[in-house]
Amino acid sequence: MHAGARALGSRAVGFWRGFTFPFRGAKFVYRQHPTLVRFWAFPILITLATLIGVVAVSLGYSDDLANAMWTAPDGQGGLGDAWSNRPSSI
């Protein structure tokens, strides 16, 4: 096997292994040490509330956010005009 293919394969395995860590942590807390739930529940609730808030704000203000980050081209220069005005000999 090529060295690059091995490196890519190990990255994919590392990604999936890392993806399982939250679930392994939940198993550790809820099944093996249920007394730790009191230390774990509050950060999870804060994370969920923040995630819900960010999604709600982004959905509610998506047009305003898009307009703040990107303006529609007005035909005053830019890559599109450079491409359309190129010499025909290219």
Write out the DSSP string of 29-63. Answer: IIII-GGGHHHHHHHHHHHHHHHHHHHHHHHHTHH
| 2 plus 27 within the same structural domain | yes
Residue 14 located in a structural domain: yes
* Average pLDDT of the segment spanning 29-52: 90
* Average pLDDT of the segment spanning 30-34: 90
| 3 plus 24 within the same structural domain | yes
Residue 48 located in a structural domain: yes
User: Where in the sequence is the domain holding 7, given as residue range(s)?
Assistant: 1-32
Helix (H) or strand (E) holding 69: helix 62-69
If pLDDT is split at 50, 70 and 90, which confidence band does 6 have? low
Helix (H) or strand (E) holding 80: helix 79-84
Residue 21 located in a structural domain: yes
pLDDT of 49: 97
| 47 plus 61 within the same structural domain | yes
CA distances from 45 to 37, 38, 39 (A): 12, 11, 11
Residue 80 located in a structural domain: no
Q: What is the pTM of this model?
A: 0.47
Q: How many domains does the chain have?
A: 2
- At position 10, the amino acid (one-letter code) is S
- To the nearest whole number, what is the mean pLDDT of the chain? 78
Structure tokens at 57: 């704000």
Q: Which of 55-59, 65-69, 71-75, 83-87 has the highest mean pLDDT?
A: 55-59
